């Protein structure tokens, strides 16, 4: 791959994904390294891939209007070439039209050379589009699906859940650039001290609107190269995840279990919120991901007990041993689309299978809780079947559990229902679901 430019690296990554692979930012990073791209071109390749994934359906809409060949008849690589060119022409003001067209046509090499004339003609036509958001579609669901590049099933579920206006707010927020959010390790430093240290390293910081000891960053560069990070003064975690652990309210002296713990953010939060005086066990099924938990615990001096375990399989060693449990289950991830734009294209049937897995995990780990203990159930999605739907089924089968109200910072305040959905258009949150349950004495 050595010698490839940014557009070629982006094209290879997008073609592999379109051909049926799973999108991987790590694989893109590896490809960038193999190509020997400098910092500027690395950022450009990443920008192109993210832009195409974020606006895919809208790009296809415009390509389809100007193509003499139906999109499903195009070779995968040619379609991805067109998407790269369309994104540059329609949404990247910093790239001159001539460069967008010529450099994209130049991607038609080898067996794709015969498509160069066709690609050139389509891109020249796309260059005349005045308003890419002018969509000739009367059906509301189809129109917003194209406009915000979300599959129709997601748009339909959102509209049914929150209404058309709020649904569009969510879809629009999903296409905005998210902040890099960190949580301060207050066992070591204050927020002010961390902000000052980051400023000295050229990083701009701003306090989160409502979550204490939480900072939004700009101009970070590589996080792991920052001195404040290496010294263990913070970890990267969205504000919504911190709120989930705040709802659990871990206390010094307690035994706390975090299942599905990797990459470790909620375990770290529990350690800090309990003043470093709780015994925290962090489990995950992935040994590779557990490495991140161990490294974070060591870097920040948190002393977590880290181990490999399948959260669906009962372990009698843990039966009735914990005061509080964090159960952040695998989910559709539709609340973090702004960070992982490819998630929106997940298979609907796969999403619909998740509640069974989530319920099985919840039922299994609930056995590890002491009578009177608290169980946090959370996901990074807004889908009701994965959230309130799972909770309702669990409570129906486990009468010793009941919903427990909890406190969050203002303006959220007291959540007396025991559950809340956070939305990406509010306070720069990831979309997130938080539910707290108590196990009664039996």
Q: Residue 364: which H helix or E strand, with range?
A: helix 348-365
SS3 (DSSP) at 433: strand
Residue at token pair 């959540």: 415
In terms of Cβ atoms closer than 10 Å to its own Cβ (0-12, 13-18, 19+), residue 231 is middle
Q: Which residues are catalytic?
A: 380
Q: Which of 210, 241, 246, 247 is nearest to 416 (CA)?
A: 247
Six token digits for residue 408: 């969050």
Block residue for tokens 């939060």 = 269
- Please count the residues of the chain: 442
Report in angstroms the alpha-carbon separations of 166 from 171, 260, 335, 425, 439: 9, 31, 15, 9, 35
CA–CA separation, 415 and 407 (whole Å):
6
What stretches of 25-163 show up as alpha helix (H) in DSSP? 25-35, 39-54, 56-66, 76-91, 97-105, 116-126, 140-148, 152-162
Q: Are 345 and 337 in contact (CB under 8 A)?
A: no
Cβ atoms of 424 and 174 closer than 8 Å: yes
Distance between CA atoms of residues 267 and 251, nearest Å: 13
Task: Decide: 160 and 188 in contact? Cβ < 8 Å.
Answer: no
């Amino acid at each position: 791959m050595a010698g490839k430019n940014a557009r070629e690296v982006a094209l290879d990554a997008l073609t592999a994904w379109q051909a049926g692979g799973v999108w991987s930012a790590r694989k893109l990073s590896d490809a960038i390294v193999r190509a020997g791209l400098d910092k500027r071109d690395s950022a450009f390749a990443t920008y192109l891939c993210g832009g195409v994934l974020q606006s895919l359906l809208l790009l296809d809409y415009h390509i389809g209007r100007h193509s003499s060949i139906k999109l499903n008849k195009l070779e995968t690589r040619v379609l991805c070439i067109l998407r790269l060119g369309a994104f540059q022409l329609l949404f990247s003001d910093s790239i001159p039209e001539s460069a967008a067209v010529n450099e994209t046509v130049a991607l038609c090499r080898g067996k794709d050379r015969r498509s160069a004339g066709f690609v050139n003609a389509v891109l020249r036509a796309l260059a005349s589009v005045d308003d890419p958001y002018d969509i000739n579609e009367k059906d509301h669901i189809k129109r917003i699906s194209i406009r915000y590049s979300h599959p129709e099933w997601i748009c339909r579920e959102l509209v049914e859940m929150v209404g058309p206006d709020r649904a569009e707010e969510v879809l629009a927020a999903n296409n905005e650039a998210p902040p890099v959010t960190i949580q301060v390790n207050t066992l070591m430093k204050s927020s002010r001290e961390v902000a000052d240290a980051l400023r000295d390293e050229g990083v701009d910081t701003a306090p989160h609107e409502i979550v204490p000891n939480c900072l939004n960053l700009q101009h970070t560069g590589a996080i792991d190269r920052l001195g404040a990070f290496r010294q263990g003064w913070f970890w990267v975690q969205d504000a919504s995840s911190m709120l989930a652990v705040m709802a659990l309210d871990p206390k010094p002296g307690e035994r706390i279990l975090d299942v599905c713990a990797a990459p470790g953010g909620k375990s770290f939060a529990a350690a800090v919120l309990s003043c470093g005086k709780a015994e925290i066990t962090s489990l995950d099924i992935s040994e590779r991901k557990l490495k991140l938990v161990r490294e974070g615990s060591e870097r920040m001096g948190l002393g977590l007990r880290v181990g490999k375990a399948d959260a669906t399989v009962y372990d009698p060693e843990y039966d009735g041993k914990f005061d509080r449990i964090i159960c952040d289950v695998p989910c559709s991830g539709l609340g973090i689309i702004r960070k992982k734009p490819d998630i929106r294209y997940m298979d609907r049937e796969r999403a619909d299978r998740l509640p069974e897995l989530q319920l099985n995990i919840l039922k299994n780990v609930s056995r590890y809780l002491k009578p009177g203990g608290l169980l946090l159930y959370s996901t990074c999605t807004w889908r009701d079947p994965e959230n309130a739907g799972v909770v309702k089924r669990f409570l129906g089968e486990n009468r010793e559990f009941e919903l427990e109200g909890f406190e969050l910072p203002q303006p959220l305040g007291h959540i007396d229902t025991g559950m809340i959905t956070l939305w990406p258009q509010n306070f720069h949150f990831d979309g997130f679901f938080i539910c707290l349950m108590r196990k009664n004495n039996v």
